[in-house]
Structure 1
């Protein structure tokens, strides 16, 4: 059976993670206990997770024309990601995200993601064949709206499953099949804490499934049903990347033909598996996740 294809439209960056017992005060220094340098950014993280689920991801993103860009694209290809849709921006440094992670799980980001390493509509147009050939198009809405709307519109016209990650503008809603928003984003999207009634009103504008963060877990709402799933019980080391694994697992399950409740359980299980280690890079094993999914289903 040919694996499904997903086009992932989002950020690629060099991810540098430093763990410390506590962030030092100004004018002081602290030793890092662990250091990780790897392929990162929301787009790349989701593409890595999709590959681990057996989906063929095609990444549409921007890298600089520097050596770091060469290294990261090599890592992406080793991860099973098609990088033909990655633009190499001349004269630009590849994006950088520095995470400082304290022992209690508190994180701080320093990021250098200037305009040249963000997608433009022209970049998306250049990747039209990749988008139109995909079974799903996963779009991170942290990219400029002109680019994300173009990507979602192309995918919609081609009949792909459209998954939007973040807070969509009104113009995006009619293009979407699925919207994933974390708790903060859900508050912006719905004008307050997510409820079934508020979510149902948003469904009238186009989406078929909403996956919304709430204070005690996640709320999934569709036309004739809804499901609340609590957070998994794993020890949380670093919440970075939990949302990316969630979105990738949800997409992969829907591409496999899972119904909404089953896809929701896969999403929560993948997120729980990812927050147990430092950094946003996923390390997902289907056998382990199947056990978590059964537990979430009460089996």
Structure 2
């Protein structure tokens, strides 16, 4: 089972603070972590932790930070053959206070994936995850070049969505895609059915703080969130996408895949930062 991931690679600096100061104020940092980050890197690492093979199509800077990021990816078992090196490495600062994040991002244009960065792994993989923070032309090229399952993560343009097999969107992204307010599972079910008409055969949507809803042509499922104390939601969506993709590629049905994905997301939100360990995770009821 081989999964290619097209997405961001970044240095992730996580700062946990008791309060966010006003202008001119200060606050102590209770916890600090510096880890490999970026949604593409997070998903690829999670895929490996779940027992599949992952190749990452991304960009690391042509600098010392980029060297360290690529070394971390290799140490995590990710194939970095299709990681390009140019410019300066992207930086994401995750400021966490009372379970809520605030991101400060330095993401140079050179750190975005270009269509020319797409290597042969995209066409050869059993599934391709396209993280939609990347340019439209790149997302479209990756989706069209794929021969396996195409999984989109985020807000997709109509022509990209038409190429998808699976769409994952959080509540805000779903509202952007559909122009509908999502405040309940029923709202998400209706939105999911509308999105099925645009191309994908499976849609997974978040209802914030309550559940994830999965919709496919012959059915649907509402999977409640796990009962964990939320420290930081960073990485929750990445873990969800990785687990959903791995489960679908290995042949799980949509509901079983959704339950594994929700369990993975639960593991990601009980600590600060997007670095998550999904090793040994099994679907509920297995």
TM over 0.5: yes
* Aligned residue number for residue 171 of structure 1: 159
Would you say 1:26 and 2:17 are equivalent positions? no
**Equivalent residue in structure 1 for 2:170, among 170, 182, 188:** 182
* Aligned residue number for residue 138 of structure 1: 129
Shift of 1:205: 2.5
* Aligned residue number for residue 222 of structure 1: 216
Shift of 1:198: 3.3
SS of match in other structure, 1:221? strand
Shift of 1:171: 0.2
> Could you list the runs of 5+ residues in structure 2 that have no partner in the other structure?
none
**Equivalent residue in structure 2 for 1:235, among 229, 245, 250:** 229
- The answer to whether the Cα contact below 8 Å between 1:11 and 1:118 also exists between their aligned partners in 2 is yes
Would you say 1:50 and 2:47 are equivalent positions? yes
Distance 1:86 1:69 in 2: 10
SS of match in other structure, 1:35? strand
| 1:261-280 correspondence runs (5 A) | 261-280=255-274
* Aligned residue number for residue 67 of structure 1: 64
Q: TM-score, normalised by structure 2?
A: 0.95
Question: How many residues get paired?
Answer: 280
Over 6 Å off, 4+ runs: none
* Aligned residue number for residue 95 of structure 1: 90
> Could you list the runs of 5+ residues in structure 1 that have no partner in the other structure?
none
Distance 1:197 1:29 in 2: 46
**Equivalent residue in structure 2 for 1:119, among 91, 113, 117:** 113
Shift of 1:105: 0.7
Shift of 1:199: 2.0
SS of match in other structure, 1:195? helix
- The answer to whether the Cα contact below 8 Å between 2:88 and 2:108 also exists between their aligned partners in 1 is no
Shift of 1:116: 0.9
Would you say 1:84 and 2:81 are equivalent positions? yes
Shift of 1:204: 2.4
Deviations 1:58-103 (A, max 9, x none): 00001110000000100000000001111101xx11000001111x
Shift of 1:185: 0.4
| 1:187-198 correspondence runs (5 A) | 187-192=175-180, 193=182, 194-198=187-191
RMSD of equivalent CA atoms = 1.2
Distance 2:275 2:225 in 1: 19
